[in-house]
Amino acid sequence: MLPLLWLKDRLFYGWVISAVFIIIGIIMAGTRLSFGVFFKSIESDFNLTRATTSLVFSVYMVFCAVFAILGGWALDKYGPRVIFILMSIFFGFGLLLTSQTNSLWQLFITYSLLLALGSGAAFVGVMSTISRWFNKKRGLALGIVTSGAGVGIVVIAPFSTFLISTFDWRIACIALGVIALLIMTPLSSLLKKDPQEIGSLPDGIKLDSIDSSPQKHVIEEDGVQSTGLSLSQSFRTRSLWLLMFIFLLASYNRFMVFTHLVPHSTDIGFSAVQAATVISVIGFSNIAGRLFIGILSDKISSKLAFIISSLIETGGMVLLLWSQGLWMLYLFAVVHGFASGGSIPVQAKVVGETFGLRRIGSILGVLEFCFGIGAAIGPTIGGFIFDVKGSYLIAFSSGAVVVFLRIPLIVLIRQESGQERKRQE
């Protein structure tokens, strides 16, 4: 009992929140990003084309986009505990019901709709909550928390491949659904909206320790009291529209790759296990990228870190166009995983720095809506191009182009000020 009390007194609860989100990310993001492992089984079982199979995931991402906006509003109003408990239930039962489907329209309900209800607001919830719990170490914390998605790719993709090859894809869905219900639901009850719920400030600073401290003014200026723009004010800035387009371009490429990389790898002669291993390599590299670039964003400009990750990701996509041997696919996986993973925490940090934390949940909800639209478009276009051309060359080339286009848009983002907006109004 005494060690637990000592730990509670010494350990900043923000790291407990972070640990919860890491585990949720492993299960939730790992399942989402492993759709490619299920791709050919669903295509064969339901006798679908590549474009139609991709559409199941694309519709899921459209619903995720819608629920991201609703979730952002709900998270600002009710906090993460209630929202993530409900999401965990929908996510688990969505997978369980998906295992029982017998027609395409049922997949659209159980996977596309219910799974989106369970995961659409995940990114918004994680990013907005962690941004409130950390200030000086925000880049590090965001990098650590989002690394759960990378671990999820490493764990869930091969685990699902094993279950699919040993049993079938339906058993894999049942197993993932049970895991989600038994682990994510109780963990979600530990979440809290912000450090003021426990009488603290970001980074573990105690409220009573700054009442008469010269740091008080600095802490207030750093955004502890959630100053910043409202959603309506943000819509009147150029930066929000730039970020909306950046989020769309990022997800277009990322989800086209995750959806079609396994089918592409098996098409050019590699086994399903080897293809799943390539996805796992992306996951390992993804973790490193999220941590390294997250920490880098605390040392240099967040925008510069974002630009660096975008340049590396563009190079990775060019590499994919020439990848025929397994070692080349592994090299692509290292480069792509590092860059695409690194852009996740830094883009969220840019949002907080640009608009403040006052309505960060709602703002991230809008941006995640755009992210979801891009994630819906990318896999569908990739599948359509393959059905027409019999190759992913044009599809992956378009991914390289859209990633590169993010760079000039990032340069144009500026830090918006609530005071400046008031003067303009």
Kindly report, residue by residue over 317-371, the tens digit of the pLDDT.
999 888 888 888 999 999 998 998 888 888 888 888 888 877 777 788 888 888 8
CATH number (domain holding residue 397): 1.20.1250.20
Condensed to tens digits (0 to 9), the pLDDT of residues 305-322 reads 999 999 999 999 999 888
Residue 204 maps to a domain: no
pLDDT score of 180: 94
Angstrom distance (rounded) from CA 76 to CA 127: 12
403 occurs within a structural domain? yes
Q: Indicate whether 214 belongs to any domain.
A: no
- Residue 1 forms part of a structural domain: no
pLDDT tens string 33-72: 788 889 889 999 999 998 899 899 889 988 988 888 888 7
- Does some domain include residue 265? yes
- Find, among 349, 342, 346, 247, the residue nearest to 287 by Cα: 342
Distance CA 12, CA 133 (A): 10
Considering the domain boundaries, does residue 290 fall inside one? yes
How confident is the model over 395-404, as a mean pLDDT?
92
Burial grade of 304 (CB within 10 A; 0-12, 13-18, 19 or more): middle
pTM of the model: 0.72
Check whether 218 has a pLDDT greater than 70.
no
Residue 215 predicted with pLDDT over 60: no
> Does residue 186 lie within any of the structural domains?
yes
**Most confident range, picked from 8-17, 104-113, 129-138, 218-227:** 104-113
Q: What is the mean pLDDT of the chain?
A: 84
- Has residue 3 been placed in a domain? no
**CB within 8 Å of 297: residues ≥ 6 apart:** 139, 305, 306, 345, 346, 349
pLDDT of residue 4: 38
- Identify the pLDDT of residue 205: 66
What CA dihedral angle connects 365, 52, 335 and 24, to 10 degrees? 50
Please compute, for residue 155, the number of CA atoms within 13 A of its CA located in the half-sphere on the CB side: 19
Banded model confidence at residue 144, pLDDT cuts 50, 70, 90: confident
pLDDT surpasses 60 at 2? no
Using an 8 Å Cβ cutoff, are 57 and 181 in contact?
no
Work out the pLDDT band at 423, boundaries 50, 70, 90: very low
**Closest listed residue to residue 64, CA positions, set 131, 123, 133, 138:** 123
Contact of 280 with 157, CB cutoff 8 Å: yes
Rg (Cα) of the chain, in Å, rounded?
Answer: 21
Confidence of residue 1 (pLDDT cuts 50, 70, 90): very low
Mean pLDDT of 277-298: 84
- 221: pLDDT confidence band, cut at 50, 70 and 90? very low
Is a pLDDT exceeding 60 seen at residue 214? no
Task: Show the 3-state SS of the chain.
Answer: CHHHHHHHHHCCHHHHHHHHHHHHHHHHHHHHCCHHHHHHHHHHHCCCCHHHHHHHHHHHHHHHHHHHHHHHHHHHHHCHHHHHHHHHHHHHHHHHHHCCCCCHHHHHHHHHHHHHHHHCCHHHHHHHHHHHHCCCCHHHHHHHHHHHHHHHHHHHHHHHHHHHHHCCHHHHHHHHHHHHHHHHHHHHCCCCCCHHHHCECHHHCEHHHCCCCCCHHHHHHCCCCCCECCHHHHHCCHHHHHHHHHHHHHHHHHHHHHHHHHHHHHHCCCCHHHHHHHHHHHHHHHHHHHHHHHHHHHHCCHHHHHHHHHHHHHHHHHHHHCCCCHHHHHHHHHHHHHHHHHHHHHHHHHHHHHHECCCHHHHHHHHHHHHHHHHHHHHHHHHHHHHHHCCCHHHHHHHHHHHHHHHHHHHHCCCCCHHHHHHHC
Q: d(Cα 70, Cα 86) in Å, to the nearest integer?
A: 13
| Residue 67: both structure tokens together | 């629920």
The confidence score (pLDDT) of residue 290 equals 82
CA distances for 290 relative to 137, 282, 417, angstroms: 14, 12, 28
Number of domains the chain contains: 1
Compute the distance between CA of residue 52 and CA of residue 66 in angstroms, rounded to an integer.
Answer: 21
Work out the percent of the chain whose per-residue pLDDT is above 70.
90
Residue 135 has pLDDT above 70, yes or no: yes
Q: Give residue 244's domain range.
A: 13-198+228-415
Q: Is the pLDDT of residue 110 over 90?
A: yes
